Structure 1
Amino acid sequence: MLDTICTAQSDIVEAYRFVRDRSLKLIAPLSAEDTVVQSMPDVSPTKWHLAHSSWFFEQFLLSSQCGYEPLRPGWQFLFNSYYESVGPRHNRVQRGLLSRPTLAEVIEYRHRVDDDMAPVLDRAASDPELAALINLGLHHEQQHQELMLTDIKHVFSVNPLEPSYQREAPFGLPGHALPMRFVRGSAGIVEIGHHGEGFAFDCETPRHRTLLHPYEMADRPVTNDEFRDFIRDGGYRTPSLWMSEGWARAQAEAWAGPMYWDAQAETEFTLAGRREIDPYAPVCHVSYYEADAYARWAGARLPRESEWEHLTETRVDVDAQLRAANFADAGFLHPQPAQRDEGLLQLFGDVWEWTSSPYVNYPGYKPLPGALGEYNGKFMCGQWVLRGGSCVTPVGHLRASYRNFFYPPDRWQFMGFRLAKDA
């Protein structure tokens, strides 16, 4: 197992094989029928993820080779996600209608792409720009590996049989009630953003100065038991706690608790099937609206992304926390209770943490040139930043500057939150 995706050019072949093999390992518990289903517009079929992540390498690395011919004419249209400058694409909400190509054909396509990538990988050892582009493709595939798990969870959840992805799921870690403590952060002008060493997406750059006012941030995420107190106290029935858009969405969709919880707030659907809710694990599958309403109910607020990043960089050993985090490779595929009672806990893994920061460009931001400039920049409108990764994020994919982003009503990702306060 790689602890981090390669940054050295000499590691590129090993990293490529590791990431590509992992995608196929993720489908081992699935039938071919499982990989075709699209249970809602935000979900993509597993088969589509497998094909699109290979399309990325074919489109942005192989197609530039002299004399290259597409492996599957027509598939460029089927498996282009949102790159308008590349060409037309299949309607996202109709991905679940694609019974063809078959799963076997998609896997065969992946192998052909890998074969054609072999000489490209060899050249990358002496070509820094080529190595950087391959590394981008690997991190892109890791993002889709996470989506494969979040999406199949939703697919299985709408099946009345509630099938299990994990046939032999490990038992959860023991937990106990930890008092929530608040850690004082630095005020004044500080720097955030990627340091410039190792891989980062363009939206994490450039490193820049920002002003922090006095604040405190909770030492751990909000737990299931704490969120149940919010429910019991009428949190979903009190409009004064909610943003107007959030209240309207909660009423329209009859929200009464986190996604996948039963009506009694006793069990939740997991990748291992339906299980009793662990009271001490971080609450999960809540929207920005729900997180914000809870924070208001608790007399607090959500942290700003600058507060989260600076406190993380200055108060913890980031590398140590990344090594100890509950990422997908730990095997739980579900948030776990905090395992110690000091310092800042669970900053990485377990749940993506909503912040109160809109997803916008940093001062001096420049998107990647060409079609790859569509990767992040064009989504900087109407979405909110989440930090820290989750229990289904691949190991080696995260860093303190990583910015994830979703729309405020989204809940199907492994989303939780921690609190902050003005000091």
Structure 2
Amino acid sequence: MNITRPASSAADDLRERFRAVRAESLALTASLSAEDQCIQSMPDASPSKWHLAHTTWFFETVLLQPHAAGYRVFDPRFHFLFNSYYEALGPRHPRPQRGLLTRPSLDEVHAYRRHVDEAVLALLETDAECDRPAIEAIVTLGLHHEQQHQELIVTDILHALSCNPLLSAYRAAPGPALRLATTPAAMQWLARPGGMVEIGHRGPGFAFDNETPRHAALVQPHAIADRLVNGGEFAQFIADGGYQRPELWLSDGWAVVQAQGWRSPAYWLAPDDPRLSHQGPAAGWQVFGLHGVRPMAPEAPVAQLSFYEAAAYAEWAGARLPTEFEWEAAHDAPGITQMSGHVWQWTRSSYDPYPGFRPLAGIAAEYNGKFMVGQLVLRGGSVATPAGHTRPSYRNFFPPAARWQFSGLRLAKDL
């Protein structure tokens, strides 16, 4: 028989964290209609409803089925519908066709979440004959996994809304758009010494496998900017013909610019954009964001840039992008600002394994390592990143042409 014992403080904290993270996903989608939550605006994005179901599938498949005796699967068909990329778990619905999943309904997905949540909390509240450390490790991984999808819920629906001529806001604006009368502070260069620096996760606390092992990396003497590049500065790049000057661009980037017709960051709207005609003549660049269309704020960090655009701007500015090692080593440097909570910051580092990298065991082995090719590392965290989700060692990664995320740049240069 199972014997229930008083829960430890750590176990209580984990249950409360589980409730809070799961509730936050629902809160992020509460203002969206069922139609909003079913749309898929491009193959790289997923419907909000799919995110809600997939994060639930993760707990059901990775935690409950192997570890909860007598667990009843909510719907066996969901195993195929909501697997993302786990080859070891069998076939799955094609990613570009997630927007075709009008069924199951949103109500059924919510019921699925309730079913799984009850089972997870029951598992955490009992002292069954099971591997408690393994269960708590899976729950912790699952919560960080869900926080990644919370960010995707925001960025994916923003992309979908940007494709709609109405350009409706994701959430209500807190007030009218205000233009600051002050001039943004001039960018300062912080000199950094060369030498060996320690890189990667250290100490207690959660980290993804791609943040390990901690190791020494060699950096050359360099300088790093004390703040992010802002919209006003990027507008100067545009005005100087930045998108028409092939000498500023990497070859692949220039090909994308020509093929896609890029002339500005992803959600910037020129004053003559026909989607703005209903509101009368616009004065200067407008930007579509979480609060709808607002005047471009020159002092705000520029966002929705691809790696190609970030690298082209750096070339135009007579600088370069920092490596991820330079970025991490400078994280706590005196004078540095805007390291997290604004935009993800492109680095000049390929997404490669650290020396001695080993993926997580079991199903989670497919979580990060299989993507370590053809992508670039971003550091920091954005306005869409859940609070407390990132660390100085956190490594985000995307292909160089991706720009629907809140991604911007910080400059560096050699000394």
TM norm structure 2:
0.91
Aligned to 1:189: 196
Q: Relative to 1, partners in 2 of residues 1:349 and 1:405: Cα closer, same or farther, differing over 3 Å?
A: same
Alignment of 1:6-405 (within 5 A): 8-64=10-66, 65-123=68-126, 127-170=132-175, 174=180, 176-264=183-271, 266-313=285-332, 315=333, 343-405=335-397
Give structure 1 regions of 4+ aligned residues with deviation exceeding 6 angstroms.
none
Q: Contact 2:345–2:379 at 8 Å: present in 1 too?
A: yes
Secondary structure of the residue that 2:114 maps to in structure 1? Answer: helix
Which of 161-170 and 222-231 deviates more?
161-170
Aligned-pair distance for 1:67?
Answer: 3.6
Q: Relative to 1, partners in 2 of residues 1:249 and 1:292: Cα closer, same or farther, differing over 3 Å?
A: same
Aligned-pair distance for 1:171?
Answer: 5.7
Alignment partner of 1:419 is 2:408:
no
Q: Computing the radius of gyration over CA atoms, which structure comes out larger, 1 or 2?
A: 2
Aligned-pair distance for 1:86?
Answer: 0.8
The CA distance in 2 between the partners of 1:377 and 1:345, in whole Å, is 31
Which of 61-70 and 403-412 deviates more?
61-70
Secondary structure of the residue that 1:386 maps to in structure 2? Answer: strand
Q: Contact 1:62–1:116 at 8 Å: present in 2 too?
A: yes
Q: Contact 1:231–1:257 at 8 Å: present in 2 too?
A: yes
State how many pairs are aligned.
Answer: 390
Name the % identity.
55
Letter in 2 for 1:280: E
Aligned-pair distance for 1:124?
Answer: 8.4
Letter in 2 for 1:117: V
The CA distance in 2 between the partners of 1:104 and 1:369, in whole Å, is 34
The CA distance in 2 between the partners of 1:10 and 1:306, in whole Å, is 37
Which of 59-68 and 31-40 deviates more?
59-68
The CA distance in 1 between the partners of 2:78 and 2:245, in whole Å, is 49
The CA distance in 2 between the partners of 1:377 and 1:221, in whole Å, is 29
Instruction: Give CA deviations for 1:265-321 in whole Å, capped at 9, x if unaligned.
Output: 6101111111100000000001000000010111100000000001114x25xxxxx
Q: Contact 2:210–2:357 at 8 Å: present in 1 too?
A: yes
Secondary structure of the residue that 2:88 maps to in structure 1? Answer: coil
Instruction: Give CA deviations for 1:327-371 in whole Å, capped at 9, x if unaligned.
Output: xxxxxxxxxxxxxxxx11110111000000000000011001122
Uncovered stretches (5+) of structure 1, i.e. residues with no partner = 1-6, 317-342
Aligned-pair distance for 1:9?
Answer: 4.2
Letter in 2 for 1:161: L
Instruction: Give CA deviations for 1:41-83 in whole Å, capped at 9, x if unaligned.
Output: 1110000000000000001100113343321111010000000
Instruction: Give CA deviations for 1:134-165 in whole Å, capped at 9, x if unaligned.
Output: 11000000000000000110111111111111
Q: Contact 1:267–1:276 at 8 Å: present in 2 too?
A: yes
TM norm structure 1:
0.89
Secondary structure of the residue that 1:189 maps to in structure 2? Answer: strand
Q: Relative to 1, partners in 2 of residues 1:123 and 1:378: Cα closer, same or farther, differing over 3 Å?
A: farther
Aligned-pair distance for 1:263?
Answer: 2.7
Q: Contact 1:286–1:415 at 8 Å: present in 2 too?
A: yes
The CA distance in 1 between the partners of 2:10 and 2:329, in whole Å, is 27
